Structure 1
């Protein structure tokens, strides 16, 4: 087996965006708008050109390029013109704070440039933390990304992380994020099980780790080899002794991994690696070319990534709802699930996202990594099975109703309802009822029960219609309009 050759590289600039999806408590989404404004978050709009340089440190994002990059259908979802339109409502806040991450073997200074909260349909949200590191070893940058993404530490190594910021010391990434950067945001999180969990609403999601999007710019045009690309894609930084580390020893395995997860159109100077937990770019370009790549990372690739991440989470949520559905009892939940799948397909899902053919390959890679097509296929199959089940149940109910009505109609015609109805015309002759024979009593019972059943069925249908309208309004608010401010 060929021995790995690892050499330390120097980083000119490293930018990391940490993205975390969360579930919002039902019915309180609209309360987040004033909360964000009170905490100095600003709505993001493409026509706010002064924001092109407000949130990205030394780099910028062209809003004009963003609008031209995505198809019009996608633009309506990603960049709504106001808070009253459906889609992703992004709120941004500049931070520009010097921070330091410390463990017992390394100290890594970095800067938090800005943070975002994006409110999405289906009672979902995303928050983003933009950080930047300069003039450091590549291993330190990768170690930073590996440790900072962990909200709830699992290993002893992760538990020893501290954050120093504004003369305060935070003993975990979680406290730094939710007590300093996003103070009060966790009050809007849905927690259905244990208090310390943020993803327990999504029992199908992996763990409490943020998704990482990064750009690593090597210094002095240093050569990028296969091991460097793998380390960047796997966030292999340092071992417990502070030494250079890679999470695999087999070069053949590394090459096979990169064959599946890397995108090398601009190699050997620039490589992309796309995995379930990371979207990274490693390059030895500098100057204007680096600025252009950063523009893509902060802009086009970021929005393409969060849209696919939104698709993945919603499809997983629908799959989980279908898996726990009790079709014998939860008829209302079944109707809600059918509506949700149709709403997602009609309003938010499309296989075509961008106008540039050269970038479609990257987005297809993201979709492949996230298994979007498979999840969507499963959702459509679930929709078909629910329709068939609902159709069979409705057919059985209608058959039973038709049988009852047919029996009443046949019996009524056989008996001739006129034999008793005469006593109930004008002034009712109650005394005659006591003298009825068995046939007349049975005719009276059929007539009275038929009237009662008709009234009950009519009331039930009317009540079902009212209930459906109310439920449909609630489903629309949850799926389509959950991120929209009421006028």
Structure 2
């Protein structure tokens, strides 16, 4: 089989949005927003038209088009009208920092335009970074993307530099420089479960070439096949038929041959042969608007479903009664409030949204969560049934025995002034009747106190669960 002849393309413009999911402490729901305001992050709102040009490095995002792209229920979650409305609270900061990506093959200058921190329900947040490169080779763009997505750790002979100082990753530079206290809001119990080696990278690259986009180009970018050990561009297969089959279900070619999209587990890449204009155009509207929020929404669903699975896996079924109730509430709240149909209005939006969800494996995670819900509900029903049966048995025994003994043996001695000397002359059956009556009264009072205490605790717990699942609310809980 002949090797694939790779033709190096030139990238005139490449824009990137790197997204990293975070798990926050439940108690940090308000304090993290207060902190972001302290470090000069701005609440993003669609009705503020000044923000259409604020965060995209000269590109413009039409807010009215974004609002019309999603169904009303979806838009209310993605774009809440105020800070105290439930939904995705996006805080953005325009930074425009110049950096350099340094490796053996080349030194690539790039610009970080802005960063977002999106606070979401269920103690989930996202850190999003907007980056731009210009005038580099296609393989260099792949290498840059591979490094851009790394969370931590040093790659041999590769680094990034800002103002002459080297950093192991872009995210470490941004957090240290612009929001150093952000890690203090992390939920350390869940960080290990959510911690990934790579961010999700959403990219759009203009080749500005007369040659059409080929499947091998999409495959190389989706699988990050940059330079080999000898410093030459490579692809990890020589079988064009294999490439065609592997990309068949994951490409979106509605705008072919000029523009093609590919979704993978860790990336959504768009390759276009036309120029990415700095003014308002359909490609940048999709990139910074439609597809960005479709990715965010799908990542939110995936992250919450994974959190639910993780919480279920660490529960001790016979010990963690309160955790079981909390998990049941979270599952039902998520499915009823946030997992209803989030389709965009247009057919194009529905197609790309379904492709993104398929790439993230949302349906499989959802099926697993429904099994968790069924298992928890079945366990709770069985547990409640056992408790009710035991309680009914105890109360029935007390009722029967009291009816047989107490009314006939000693209750007449309780009328009027009680003569306590009479109790000394009781026979064993009468003493037993006394014990049954008074122990029954103690049982009833104990059950009443337990019920009242449990109701108070349930109200307190429900307030905590609401704060965790809603994230923000106009009601003071």
Whether these two folds match at TM > 0.5 is: yes
Cα deviation 1:383-430 (Å, max 9, x = unaligned): 122212211111111111111111111111222435222333343333
Q: Residues of 2 paired with 1:164 and 1:68: CA distance?
A: 40
**Aligned pair partner of 1:200 in 192, 195, 217:** 192
* Corresponding residue number in structure 2 for 1:170: 167
Are 1:82 and 2:71 an aligned pair? no
Q: Write out aligned runs for 1:82-481 (5 A).
A: 82-153=82-153, 158-192=155-189, 199-202=191-194, 207-286=196-275, 291-480=281-470
Cα deviation for residue 287 of structure 1 reads 5.7
Q: Residues of 2 paired with 1:374 and 1:172: CA distance?
A: 32
Q: Residues of 1 paired with 2:157 and 2:410: CA distance?
A: 89
TM-score, L = length of structure 1: 0.93
Q: Is the 8 A contact 1:3 1:251 kept in 2?
A: no
Q: Residues of 2 paired with 1:11 and 1:291: CA distance?
A: 19
Q: Residues of 2 paired with 1:248 and 1:483: CA distance?
A: 49
Q: Is the 8 A contact 2:206 2:276 kept in 1?
A: no
Cα deviation for residue 241 of structure 1 reads 4.0
Q: Is the 8 A contact 2:60 2:280 kept in 1?
A: no
TM-score, L = length of structure 2: 0.95
* Corresponding residue number in structure 2 for 1:195: none
Q: Is the 8 A contact 2:276 2:284 kept in 1?
A: no
Q: Is the 8 A contact 2:207 2:272 kept in 1?
A: yes
Cα deviation for residue 237 of structure 1 reads 2.1
Q: Residues of 2 paired with 1:201 and 1:485: CA distance?
A: 31
* Gapped regions of structure 1 (runs ≥ 5): 193-197
Q: Is the 8 A contact 1:217 1:290 kept in 2?
A: no
Q: Residues of 2 paired with 1:312 and 1:351: CA distance?
A: 15
Q: Residues of 2 paired with 1:345 and 1:67: CA distance?
A: 23
Name the Cα RMSD after superposition: 1.9
1:184/1:40 CA distance change after superposition, 3 Å = same
Q: Is the 8 A contact 2:87 2:472 kept in 1?
A: yes
Q: Residues of 1 paired with 2:211 and 2:25: CA distance?
A: 49
1:171/1:321 CA distance change after superposition, 3 Å = closer
Q: Is the 8 A contact 1:276 1:370 kept in 2?
A: yes
Q: Residues of 2 paired with 1:236 and 1:182: CA distance?
A: 33
Cα deviation for residue 242 of structure 1 reads 3.2
* Gapped regions of structure 2 (runs ≥ 5): none
Q: Write out aligned runs for 1:10-25 (5 A).
A: 10-25=10-25
Q: Residues of 1 paired with 2:36 and 2:236: CA distance?
A: 40
Cα deviation 1:67-99 (Å, max 9, x = unaligned): 000000100100001111000000011111111
Cα deviation 1:276-310 (Å, max 9, x = unaligned): 10001001012659932122111110001100000
Q: Residues of 2 paired with 1:32 and 1:470: CA distance?
A: 22
1:171/1:404 CA distance change after superposition, 3 Å = closer
1:363/1:172 CA distance change after superposition, 3 Å = closer
Are 1:53 and 2:62 an aligned pair? no
Cα deviation for residue 105 of structure 1 reads 3.9
Q: Residues of 2 paired with 1:218 and 1:182: CA distance?
A: 35
Cα deviation 1:227-266 (Å, max 9, x = unaligned): 1111122222223443213233332221111112111121
Cα deviation 1:171-228 (Å, max 9, x = unaligned): 4445313212443222211223xxxxx83143xx6x2311000001012443211211
Q: How many residues align?
A: 475
Q: Residues of 2 paired with 1:15 and 1:240: CA distance?
A: 27
Q: What secondary structure sits across from 1:127 in the alignment?
A: strand
